[in-house]
Amino acid sequence: MSKTLQRIIGPRTPEDVGDERRLDFMLPTILLGLAAVCLILSIFLPYWNMTLEAPQYPKGLTVRTYVNRLEGDVAEIDGLNHYIGMRPLEEAAQLERSLSIVLIGATALLVVAAIFIHSKWAALLALPAVLYPFIFMADMYYWLRNFGQNLDPTAALSNYIEPFTPTVLGEGLIGQFRTVASLGPGFYLAALASILILVGLYFQRRAYKPLADAAKVARSAEKAGDEEASDEEGAPEA
């Protein structure tokens, strides 16, 4: 194995580690592994929910947003949105939904790979998973704003509804409808994965940095010894 690759991978867990320190090396693996599992499980749960409430709909109309599909009263909400000139919900984030399963799976695999990389490169591998919840929320806001600000001016009720940005979180008002938007369990799992990764990377650094520093000192000493030997060989004899 080349020295460059060794530096990227980082030090290995000592074979003779005692029981009192074994947990120090196992804890990062457990935390990062749990983070990867949380990401995969989040695929099967809704990330964002919105409910429209009005007197004519006593139970409300709800749409549940998964990473790859929409569920709930989508057709009914689209029918209402048609009157104010808003496009069908299925037209939003089509590229993101089509790639979501593959991208989340790849992100989870990068987190698993970070388990075996005991250097600063582990943080780089895990970075997409840490940022993912923020990226999701930013993308959600973009599409809500895009749909709300680009209403069809020829729609039946276009004169009564000004362009708007639907509420990402909390309560809002669209015409006579009260809206309630909230995060779903899928998003909370993704956010939990981010927290587990940050904690796992902290414990990984705490466990392996002393080994990396010791290896660095050993390399420096070896290099100094090689240079000294080279100088002695090149010195002229008296």
Residue tagged 């991208």 (tokens): 103
Q: Which 3 state secondary structure label does DSSP give 75?
A: helix
Give all strands of the β-sheet with 48-54 in edge-to-edge order: 70-72, 57-65, 48-54, 177-183, 170-174
pLDDT at residue 149, rounded to an integer? 95
pLDDT at residue 225, rounded to an integer? 62
pLDDT at residue 234, rounded to an integer? 58
Residue 189 CA to its chain's centroid (Å): 10
DSSP category for residue 16: T
Question: Is there a contact between 140 and 126 (Cβ–Cβ < 8 Å)?
Answer: no
pTM of the model: 0.89
Non-local (6+) Cβ contacts of 83 within 8 A are 155, 156, 157
pLDDT along the chain (238 residues), means of 10: 79 76 90 98 98 90 98 96 94 97 98 94 97 98 96 90 93 90 98 98 92 72 61 56
pLDDT at residue 175, rounded to an integer? 79
DSSP category for residue 90: G
